[in-house]
Amino acid sequence: MLYVFHGTDVAKSAEKAHSLISSLRLKRPDAAFERIESGSWDPAAIEGHIGSQGLFSSKYIVFLDRVTENAEAKDALAGMVAAMNESPNIFIVLEGKLNADLKRAVEKDAEKAVTSDLKDKAPAKESSNIFALASAFGAREAFKAWTLFRQATDAGTEPEAIAGMLFWKSKSMGSSALARKLIVMYHEAHRGRNDLELSLERLVLDCAKP
C-alpha cells in the first residue's frame, strides 16, 4: 500500500505524512517502522521491504522522506511505485514537487496521493499545529498543551490525528506506559466505550503530573 504526500508546500505535506504515520503506528503498535532519507537510500532495501514482513511483526511501515534529493532515487523511484502499492507493507512517501515520471506513476498506481501547494494569492489560513501540541505535552506544559489542543480541535483536527501525534511523542519520550494508555484509549473509543476527544483532553490536562 502506498500513500504519497507532495507539493510545493513541503511543511504542510510533512504534517499530513507524519499525522498518517502516527495514526498507523497507533493502530498497529506491532508493526516495524523504518525511515529512509536521501542519504540512506538503498534500492535493495526498498525491494526487500516490498516483498517481506517484519521478523516479529505482521507488517512494515516504511517512510521515504524526500529520497529524490538523491539522484539515484530520483531516477529509480517511479519504477517502484506500482510494486510498493501492491506490497503487503505500507509505504509513505514525502516529496516536494514531483518530476514528470514520478507524478505519472503516482497518479496511475498509488493508493492515495495528496498534493499541498503554496498559494500565490492570499496566504492560507494557519493550520492547527499539532507538532507544537506534542512538544508542549512532552515538556509537561499542561496549560500550553491544553490551549493548543483546543485550538486544534476547534480548527477541525480529528482526535485520531492528535492521538497519533501524542502516541509518537510518548514513544520518543520513552514512556511505554503512556503509549499503551493511548492505544487503549484509541481502541476503546472506536468500540464506543469512551469519547476520544474528551479522553485526550483529560490526558493533556494531566500531563504536568509525574
Q: What is the pLDDT of residue 126?
A: 41
Nearest in space to 161 (alpha carbons), one of 135, 192, 128 = 128
Q: Which tens digit of pLDDT belongs to each residue from 164-207?
A: 889 888 888 888 888 889 999 988 888 888 899 999 999 999 88
Please list the residues that pair with 62 across neighbouring strands: 34, 91
Q: In angstroms, what CA-CA distances link 141 with 5, 73, 165? A: 31, 41, 16
What percent of the chain clears pLDDT 90, i.e. is strictly above it?
Answer: 47
Task: Tell if the pTM clears 0.75, that is, is over it.
Answer: no
Q: Which tens digit of pLDDT belongs to each residue from 76-103?
A: 999 999 999 999 999 999 999 999 999 9
| Superfamily of domain 2-115, CATH level 4 | P-loop containing nucleotide triphosphate hydrolases (3.40.50.300)
Nearest in space to 4 (alpha carbons), one of 100, 77, 112 = 112
Nearest in space to 101 (alpha carbons), one of 76, 65, 121, 119 = 76
Rounded to the nearest integer, the mean pLDDT of the chain is 87
Query: 139 pLDDT exceeds 50?
Result: yes
Please list the residues that pair with 114 across neighbouring strands: 5
Domain boundaries, the chain: 2-115, 130-205
Nearest in space to 183 (alpha carbons), one of 13, 63, 25 = 25
Q: What is the pLDDT of residue 131?
A: 85
